[in-house]
Structure 1
């Protein structure tokens, strides 16, 4: 029987969210697992570090080298630096842990929620649509501490199409699931508060959608990653109870460069995800 792979992250907790790889069996990047800053609350900015010491997050895949398009059990184990399980977690936007999965070229995005089994353990079974490298980003809040995001690169076996280019888009309008979504950004510049407004209309009639439903307790959520997947922001809306056609967010891009962002919303019982790519000047 194949052994499960265990990748362990150890770092001071910070406050704060598949195709396209080269080669048939690409290896994961050779950097150590680490913790990401940049979880945005309603105002979107990164928060200060919590007063806690250290946590250890272990990502365990079975099998050790998962195959493309196959059910893959994933366990996330969270302990303190003395290997004692972290038992209690706050519920944030209806969940104790949010897991973001992206391919290295950011063409694949998944926002899923492992089940909490107690003893600091979260379980889920998922699939990866193509071979290559993927990044896992786990957001959680140990009770009495701040929001933490810990990450791990993994490698999936199987055929992978050519990497998709991550190119800034000149027009920020997309049609997804019968919705026309326009993104407007004020003050797009590194290190400055940026206002993000998603305006949602019916794609056929062009009429504004005014009956968006709460998704994970809010009108929407936005996940942002730099092109190299190293800068990460998970942003919540400024007005959680809004229902459209506008959903407004505020965040701060930490560095200049190219970023991909995904807005997630719910309408008539169905969640839809709309991606955009922007270039942030210095």
Structure 2
């Protein structure tokens, strides 16, 4: 499935209108976010994609706060949800949707949140192990991420000394897990849905276009609860044509020239 970024070539086709209530968003206070996908000023119906009609990823500009949510469809065809932002500052909203009769599309917007701004965290240290809710996740090949090839994402999960296998996980959004990668500098975006692999409970393939530091969030579901682990990887430049296997990520991703 291809994901088409909204840029100069296709921005006219689909416009995502974002409104907030209250209009001035403040940290620590609930805010209603409403998104309406429009074409020629009319709301466009959306198809179900990976079990939902609209996927919304909300992240702080420094990529240290992440939320993946699914706004509820309203009677007028728009989608709404409540969110409380932890601190003031800039946040990015990536919405992923498939208009009926159209292609899978990615839209990126920014929102300014009032209130006390936390010091910017410029720590770009790599992070291959993440502990969440008693689970330990390890990105086993985290030091081997390169551009210009089909990149494997190999993640192990342990709890109480036991290594989990894929059947220990419940399906989440039509796959064994859900993965998002966002570039720290250019905010390149990859939306990845893992495939089955007998060696790792979470295994995926993607192709990363630009080198640099990326933040990654891997979400998995066990006993009805979704857990979110985070990693940081440094993607280096790979040799062109090194590997051309089919990947399982949406492309193209956001790059500076598309914003």
Change (3 A) 1:181 1:189: same
Unaligned runs of 5+ in 1: 1-13, 17-33, 37-48
Number of aligned positions between the proteins: 232
Counterpart for residue 138 of structure 2 = 182
Counterpart for residue 279 of structure 1 = 234
| 8 A contact 1:208–1:244 mirrored in 2 | no
Provide the C-alpha distance between the structure 1 equivalents of 2:151 and 2:224, rounded to a whole number of angstroms. Answer: 30
| 8 A contact 2:155–2:201 mirrored in 1 | yes
From 82, 86, 90, the counterpart of 1:125: 82
Provide the C-alpha distance between the structure 1 equivalents of 2:96 and 2:105, rounded to a whole number of angstroms. Answer: 6
Question: Does residue 24 of structure 2 align to residue 60 of structure 1?
Answer: no
Provide the C-alpha distance between the structure 1 equivalents of 2:2 and 2:78, rounded to a whole number of angstroms. Answer: 21
| 8 A contact 1:208–1:245 mirrored in 2 | no
| 8 A contact 2:145–2:233 mirrored in 1 | no
Change (3 A) 1:196 1:245: closer
- Of the structure 1 ranges 114-123 and 175-184, higher mean CA displacement relative to structure 2 is found in 114-123
Counterpart for residue 19 of structure 1 = none
Give the deviation of 1:72 after TM superposition: 0.2
Question: Does residue 163 of structure 2 align to residue 192 of structure 1?
Answer: no
Q: Could you state the TM-score of these two structures normalised by the residue count of structure 2?
A: 0.83
Provide the C-alpha distance between the structure 2 equivalents of 1:99 and 1:250, rounded to a whole number of angstroms. Answer: 22
From 211, 215, 218, the counterpart of 1:263: 218
Provide the C-alpha distance between the structure 2 equivalents of 1:62 and 1:244, rounded to a whole number of angstroms. Answer: 47
Give the deviation of 1:144 after TM superposition: 1.8
Provide the C-alpha distance between the structure 2 equivalents of 1:196 and 1:76, rounded to a whole number of angstroms. Answer: 32
RMSD: 2.4
Large movers: runs of 4+ above 3 Å: 242-245
